[in-house]
Structure 1
Amino acid sequence: MKNIKIEEVVKNENQVIAIARESPFYPDGKGGQLGDRGKIGPARVLKVKEKNGYILHYLDTELEPGEYDCEIDLSRRKDIACQHTAQHILSAAFLKTADLETVSFHMGEEISTIDLNAPFILEDVLEEVEDLANEVVRKCERVEISEVDLKEAETLNLRKIPEVKEKIRVVKIGDFDITACGGFHVENTGEIGLIKIVDTEKVKKMFTRVYFVAGERALKDYRSKDRLIRSLTTVLTTSSQELEKRVKNLLESVKEKSSKLEKLAELCASLLAKSMASKRVGRFEVYDFDGPQEVGKYLPKFLADRENTIILLRYPDRVEIVSNWLDCRKIFEKLKEELNIEGGAGQKRAIVSTSSSKVVEKIEEILEWF
């Protein structure tokens, strides 16, 4: 149990913020990692921020200024330490394996990321890095934390020397990595258990973002994906070994059937266009279609070139206006002005985000003016 002195309590809208000069709670975002959670007296700590030399604790209930016992969520802190040490190991592994430097790090509540200075990374490189990282975990390397001055730091072959004048906090993982860092870390890499890269994406056209989980998060991720695979094998009546093949076959079948459906829909539209009745509204012939979207999208191909034609396509979530004889933007502007509708319009097509029959009635009224 630790102690904290709350200097001031501010209530801001629905937030209660307890302010202290010093706090055992680690702030969110500092060093790229998550902040502590726990309790101050009877109040739960929802978020912690550092601002202008003060620590701001966002609470779920009001407190008076004064001294309080506080309790930190140690299981959360252990998870944070696990993710942060895993990040150090991964960053060092990318540097040793592929000469890729980490340009930024973000720890999330469920998944963490590192951004690397390359627009893409080959799959076999990712696997090699992951293997090396987990080899370091299995070796149960000791994680040592010390403080050194700048002169000594320059002799330690740090991955990056921070621009600070005071003492530098250094995290050393066996002989594998040594880095300046102010965050939480495990005492032994074996505590991490497992590091798993789960995804990558290109960011800012020049970096690769690597998503990873470690420790309990990695176990939860494995369980979740295992449940998904077992569920899919049950639904698709196949084994996990045959799942990929089964899915590919289904996709090919769907693609083939979709192609046939498109052809049938186009044929249906061509036949419907020959017999479809229109309604005279002002100088326009209005074709009002209330049917399957697959057919509706082909009707303009067979109707739009008929003189003074306006085509209305009614779908459950919208009405489309199609015409080669009137600027559809003018109709849309009138509709928006009178009905306050949403959607968008081009010269030959307008889309109104509603299926109300009032919209069609209003369109016909507007057409009488042109």
Structure 2
Amino acid sequence: MSNLYYDSAYTREWTTRIAEIVSREDSLYIRLDETAFYPEGGGQPGDTGAIGEARVLDTIAENGRILHLVDRQPGAAGDEVFCRLDWERRFDHMQQHTGQHLLSAVCLDLLGAPTLSFHLGQDYATIDVDKAEWTDAELDQLEQEVNKRIQRNVAVNGYFVEPEEAARLPLVKAPSVEGRVRIVDIEGIEYNACGGTHVRTTGELGLLKLLRAEKQKGNLRLTFKVGLRALTEFAAQHRILATLSAKLSTPKEELPERLEKLNAEDRRKQSELNELRARLDRYAARELLEEAESRGSAAAKLFEDRTLKEVQQLAALLTAQTPLPVLLGSRPECKLMLAHSGEAKLSCGALFKEMLPAFGGRGGGSETSAQAAFGSEDELIAFYDKLVQHLSGSQTD
């Protein structure tokens, strides 16, 4: 079988014959006499496209054969078929893969950091390099140098050599295959043993943009985009900055300072709001305690405008001031809690476990605290009313 992607990574369409049809459970694979579909490997995904009327969903290499996963049978063994690559996807992979080679070469040159792994994802690509510490200045220099080498528009050559010749080349690392070795040579920059597909010249990469640098298992992980991916990323970021600039009536260059001022103002307002909520909680607690002590029953209320978290804060304030049980709920969230200081002779968790099933509620808790959630406000109210009766000692059958 001839691998056309080694003859020319730019082959988009060709005619060949079906060599073999392989059926496996719910999957159908086609082997061709000649293929330009690249099989997954070396960090690069397998190609997609079409064989006749069949859609190629993936391409894999298996025991020296290249198999194409298809959504239907395009013909019988021996039939001639017209094949077509999903070219935009393939060229994108060629750009990202070649960009990785260039980025790895510059990482080695400038940072002394060899590449440990490469991943080409649908949205972005990453490399992990052997470097534990780095600076922003180093990363800026790295990105600038990569793009300078892109602009030189040097040739990217791919060819096979015998093992003896490969041993004489200044390869980045020793080949992982036996026999003839495929070399990717970025003129004057790098020799690498690689079986992937690449662009003809570095100029076809357009640009490379580093998006993120982070520590991963003690090494440096660089997330990047090349070519059209990088341009699309830049356009998206530009739209976001332009929108923020317009909404805040602030030039893009002054956005960080403006946002810091807004954050400081938000923190100040949040502090004021927390103080007002604490004051409101004290008033609410006093009112609930007066009512509960006058009745000699639990401090109980369903709130129309409080979340469960806010209810919990009020309950903590109440249980610190009274030995009576505290029963509070949030009608918007259909949630309820029961708590006491430890002096009340009841187990909140056991009581909920006993009573909840009859009201469609779910929850539980400990001796001194329990929570429950309900599917509807009606269920919440029914359970609340029943529990108030129980706690006041007037529960009826």
| TM-score by shorter chain over 0.5 | yes
Match of 1:216 among 228, 231, 242: 228
- CA-CA distance at 1:123 after TM superposition: 1.3
**Paired amino acid for 2:323:** E
Match of 2:70 among 34, 59, 79: 59
Q: Secondary structure at the match of 1:197?
A: strand
Q: Deviations over 1:152-175 (max 9, x none)?
A: 323222111133222111111122
Q: Is 1:309 aligned to residue 325 of structure 2?
A: yes
- CA-CA distance at 1:352 after TM superposition: 3.4
**Cα gap change, 1:212 to 1:355, in 2 (>3 Å):** farther
1:358 is matched with 379
Does the 8 Å contact 1:311/1:321 carry over to 2? yes
Q: Secondary structure at the match of 1:187?
A: coil
CA distance in structure 1 between the aligned counterparts of 2:352 and 2:134, rounded to whole angstroms: 47
2:180 is matched with 167
1:251 is matched with 263
CA distance in structure 1 between the aligned counterparts of 2:362 and 2:242, rounded to whole angstroms: 43
1:3 is matched with 16
Does the 8 Å contact 1:319/1:355 carry over to 2? no
Q: Secondary structure at the match of 1:109?
A: coil
CA distance in structure 1 between the aligned counterparts of 2:295 and 2:177, rounded to whole angstroms: 77
The 5-angstrom pairing of residues 43-54 of structure 1 reads 43-54=54-65
Q: When the two structures are superposed, what TM-score results if normalisation uses the length of structure 1?
A: 0.85
Q: When the two structures are superposed, what TM-score results if normalisation uses the length of structure 2?
A: 0.80
Q: Is 1:40 aligned to residue 51 of structure 2?
A: yes
Match of 2:167 among 132, 135, 154: 154
- CA-CA distance at 1:237 after TM superposition: 1.4
Q: Deviations over 1:240-274 (max 9, x none)?
A: 12222221111111111111111101110110111
Over aligned residue pairs, what C-alpha RMSD do you find?
3.3
Q: How many pairs are equivalent?
A: 366
CA distance in structure 2 between the aligned counterparts of 1:24 and 1:280, rounded to whole angstroms: 86
Match of 1:292 among 302, 306, 314: 306
The 5-angstrom pairing of residues 204-353 of structure 1 reads 204=217, 206-276=218-288, 277=291, 285-293=299-307, 295-305=310-320, 306-314=322-330, 316-317=332-333, 319-324=335-340, 325=342, 329-330=349-350, 348=369, 350=371, 352=373
Does the 8 Å contact 2:360/2:374 carry over to 1? no
- CA-CA distance at 1:148 after TM superposition: 2.2
**Cα gap change, 1:269 to 1:52, in 2 (>3 Å):** farther
**Cα gap change, 1:285 to 1:300, in 2 (>3 Å):** closer
Q: Is 1:195 aligned to residue 208 of structure 2?
A: yes
CA distance in structure 2 between the aligned counterparts of 1:88 and 1:264, rounded to whole angstroms: 59
- CA-CA distance at 1:291 after TM superposition: 2.1
CA distance in structure 2 between the aligned counterparts of 1:315 and 1:116, rounded to whole angstroms: 54
Task: Extract unaligned runs of 5+ from structure 1.
Answer: none
Q: Secondary structure at the match of 1:31?
A: coil
Does the 8 Å contact 2:45/2:120 carry over to 1? yes
CA distance in structure 1 between the aligned counterparts of 2:356 and 2:93, rounded to whole angstroms: 51
Say which one has the larger Rg: 2
Q: Deviations over 1:59-108 (max 9, x none)?
A: 34454433322111233222211111100111111111112222111111
Moved more, 333-342 or 135-144: 333-342
- CA-CA distance at 1:327 after TM superposition: 5.7
2:127 is matched with 114
Moved more, 218-227 or 275-284: 275-284
Moved more, 288-297 or 82-91: 288-297
Task: Extract unaligned runs of 5+ from structure 2.
Answer: 1-13
- CA-CA distance at 1:196 after TM superposition: 0.5
CA distance in structure 1 between the aligned counterparts of 2:314 and 2:335, rounded to whole angstroms: 14
Does the 8 Å contact 1:81/1:185 carry over to 2? yes
**Cα gap change, 1:124 to 1:348, in 2 (>3 Å):** farther
Moved more, 355-364 or 126-135: 355-364
Q: Secondary structure at the match of 1:213?
A: strand
**Paired amino acid for 1:38:** G
Q: Secondary structure at the match of 1:135?
A: helix
Q: Secondary structure at the match of 2:267?
A: helix
CA distance in structure 1 between the aligned counterparts of 2:293 and 2:248, rounded to whole angstroms: 49
CA distance in structure 2 between the aligned counterparts of 1:207 and 1:344, rounded to whole angstroms: 45
Match of 1:70 among 83, 88, 94: 83
**Cα gap change, 1:320 to 1:36, in 2 (>3 Å):** same
